[in-house]
Structure 1
Amino acid sequence: MTAYDCDVLVVGGGIVGLSTAYAITRAAPGTSVIVLEKESGPARHQTGRNSGVIHSGIYYRPGSFKARFAVQGAAEMVKFCAEYDLPHEVTGKLIVATDHAELPRLHALAQRGRENGIPVRELGRAQIAEYEPWVRGIGAIHVGTTGVCDYGAVAARLAGLAEDAGASVRYGAEVRVVGRRPGAVAVRTAGGEVLRARVLVNCAGLYSDRVARLAGDDPGMRIVPFRGEYFELAPSRADLVRGLVYPVPDPAFPFLGVHLTRGIDGTVHLGPNAVPALAREGYARGTVHPGELAGTLAYPGSWRIARRHWRYGAGEVRRSLSKRAFANEVRRLLPDVTEADLIPAPAGVRAQAVLRDGTLVDDFLFAESHRMVHVLNAPSPAATASLPIGREVARRALAAMG
Structure 2
Amino acid sequence: MDTIPILPTRRSPPPGKAPAGPPPRGFALFALGFRPFYLSGAVFAALAIAAWSAMLAGVSAAGPAPVMPAMFWHAHEMVFGFAATIVVGFLFTAGRAWTGQPTPTGAALAALFLLWLAGRVGMWVAPGTAAFVIEGAFLPLAALAFTRTLARAGNRRNYPLAMALWLLAVADIASLWLQARGHDAGAMLACRAGVALVTLFVVVIGGRVIPMFTTNAIPGFRLRQYRQVDRMVVPAAVLGLASGLLPLPEWLLAALSLLAAVVLAGRVAGWRSHAVGNRPILWVLHLAYAWLPVALLLQALGALGLVMAGLATHAFTVGVLGVAIIAMITRTALGHTGRMLVAGRAETAAYWLVATAAVLRVFGPMIWPAGYLHWMWGAGACWVAGFGLYALTYAPRLARPRVDGKPG
Question: So what's the TM-score if we normalise by structure 1?
Answer: 0.27
Greater fraction of residues in strand: 1
Greater fraction of residues in helix: 2
